[in-house]
Amino acid sequence: MFTFGLMEIELSQAEENYLKAIYSLFVVANKAVSTNKIAEKLETKASSVTDMVKKLSDKNLVNYVKYQGVSLTTEGKEFAIHVIRKHRLWEVFLVRHLGFKWDEVHEVAEQLEHVKSRKLTDGLDAFLDFPRYDPHGDPIPDKEGNFIKRNITVLSALKINEESKIVGVKDSSSAFLKYLDNAEIKLGAEIKVLHKESFDNSMMLLIEGQKISISQQISSNLYVKQND
Amino acid sequence: MFTFGLMEIELSQAEENYLKAIYSLFVVANKAVSTNKIAEKLETKASSVTDMVKKLSDKNLVNYVKYQGVSLTTEGKEFAIHVIRKHRLWEVFLVRHLGFKWDEVHEVAEQLEHVKSRKLTDGLDAFLDFPRYDPHGDPIPDKEGNFIKRNITVLSALKINEESKIVGVKDSSSAFLKYLDNAEIKLGAEIKVLHKESFDNSMMLLIEGQKISISQQISSNLYVKQND
DNA sequence: ATAAATTTTTAGATTTGTCTAAAAAATATT
DNA sequence: AATATTTTTTAGACAAATCTAAAAATTTAT
Ligand SMILES: [Mn+2]
Ligand SMILES: [Mn+2]
Ligand SMILES: [Mn+2]
Ligand SMILES: [Mn+2]
């Protein structure tokens, strides 16, 4: 339950990007994040990360012990989630109102997420009618920083005959998203696993009545929600 | 007739702000702009301006001769107008769709104007249905950089019994805009000059049927278009 | 338990944009 | 025309964010 309380301090774009990176790496690893991983994610050098992490630590936004990785403090997490909120709201706006495709929004949202104005963010949220998911199926934090934690699985983990709905993408690279567009695989599509090929782990699916085969590369990057 | 042609180079926010400042100072002065004036406008020091102006000169965006002031090159002007286009389009968006008042938009537009994406700018323009003026009555350049050059006068210059329409504000400070809101003076209002007080240069006006008196401070900061 | 490999940090440099204080040039005053 | 004032530029410093190369710590392999 975050309240985005003590956010008088203004962070630089670089600082915001670091917090966001640390947040998302922590979510998957579930333990303190290494400087190397952060460097890789932000396409920078580990030495730069060490410097920045020290600065964020001085500002009480991360917990950092030399050689032992980085994690976010409560306040750091609030900031990270707030930036993610802005990023995803802008993505919704771009797709819904400006004719962007879901593979075109990332770079622009990466810039827009750093614009500082409470009124802007909350106004945009209201204008969009408080969307709960972004174009890639990722949940959008509300103004208090709360967001839905869904019970999702990766498609490749489903067993034969299980039915589910596509709700998100793990990889949101332009290449993967374009592949999905081409194959007419959309979020919201109902699917059923017809067959799993043990040789290459490819899957035969029934998507909205259509029978198609997808490689493991694909199935392991699609999130599904199992029908109850 | 600008075509926004050679804009492969990416400018920093600081560079963009300098170009915009030089542009608007040049428009009023109509001659090379001094480093001091630029410093004042950008709330920085003249020595910083000298440094930046040298850099912009190296990039062929400004004409600069030591001790003789600064003017924009064709390319510099293109950039400046493009930033102004973005600034004003965002202002329209904020007022029309996010519930901002005209005195609240400037600071946020100041940030949004630096977001780099052709598709975003042109998409926003289309979404807003190609607005020709921003909330303060300033013309919005189109994607080619062309904009309406209107035949406007300052209200204080009108003579008794002349009729005209309020079309813009010279001062767009929050204080002035709030005063106008309070006095219910809006863009588009039809006015007639009833009387000019020679003692303090105040004016008695008929605005949309209402009789009101305004000081010269006010009348010299309102743009009007005379009825033909 | 040592040695080798990998990861992380430090040291020192660079770029961008800013500042203060001093020098130089331009402008105004006598 | 000489002097005083104002404007503009230069010189040197600093903070932010980055880099490379070297040192230190940790982890892995023998
Ligand atoms: Mn970003
Ligand atoms: Mn997304
Ligand atoms: Mn700006
Ligand atoms: Mn405006």
What is the number of structural domains in chain A? 2
Token pair for A186: 């959309």
B51 CB inside 7 Å of strand D: yes
pLDDT class for A80, splitting at 50, 70, 90? very high
Q: How far is the CA of B116 from the centre of ligand 3 (A)?
A: 13
- Which of A149, A183, A209 delimits the end of a domain? A149
How close, in Å, is residue A95 to chain B by CA atoms? 11
pLDDT (tens digit per residue) in A85-126: 999 999 999 999 999 999 999 999 999 999 999 999 999 999
Residue A206 pairs with which residues in a beta bridge? A192, A211
Question: DSSP letter string over B180-199?
Answer: HHHTT--TT-EEEEEEE-TT
Answer yes or no: do B161 and B188 share one domain: yes
From the CA of A7, how many Å to the C1' of D29?
48
| Token code pair at residue A81 | 């989630």
In this structure, are A136 and A192 located in the same domain? no
Which whole number is the average pLDDT over B135-143? Answer: 98
Note whether A79 and A64 are same-domain residues: yes
Q: Are B165 and B173 in contact (CB under 8 A)?
A: no
Where among A149, A176, A195 does a domain terminate?
A: A149
A168 and A73 in a single domain? The answer is: no
Are B187 and B201 in a shared domain?
yes
- Same structural domain, B105 and B156: no
A31 CA vs D28 C1’ separation (Å): 21
- Arithmetic mean of pLDDT over chain B: 95
Which residues form the domain of A96? 1-149
Report, as an integer, the average pLDDT of B197-222.
Answer: 95
pTM: 0.94
For residues B170 and B103, state if they share a domain.
no
Based on the fold, state whether residues A202 and A142 are members of the same structural domain.
no
When pLDDT is averaged across residues A151-166 and rounded to a whole number, the result is 94
CB pair distance less than 8 Å for A120 and B104: no
Partner residue opposite B119 with nearest CB, options A97, A100, A120 = A100
* Co-location of A168 and A137 in the same domain: no
pLDDT of A227: 83
Q: What is the CATH number of the domain that holds B118?
A: 1.10.10.10
Name the residue with tokens 């964020």.
Answer: A56
Regarding whether A52 and A156 lie in a shared domain, the answer is: no
Domain CATH code at residue A216: 2.30.30.90
Assess contact for A51 and A70: CB atoms under 8 A.
no
Of B92, B122, B149, the residue at which a domain comes to its end is B149
Task: State the pLDDT at residue A1.
Answer: 35
**Rounded to the nearest 10 degrees, how much is the dihedral formed by the CA atoms of A106, A21, A86, A92?**
30
**Rounded CA–C1' distance between A72 and C5, in angstroms:** 30
Q: Are residues A94 and A35 in the same domain?
A: yes
A123: nearest CB among B99, B119, B127 = B99
Amino acid at A34: S
Same domain (yes/no): A75, A171: no
Residues of chain B in contact with residue A128, where contact means CB-CB under 8 angstroms, are: none
Kindly report the backbone phi and psi dihedral angles of residue B207, in degrees, each rounded to the nearest multiple of 5, phi listed first: -110, 115
Binary contact (B127, A94; C-beta < 8 A): no
* Overall average pLDDT of the B156-183 stretch: 96
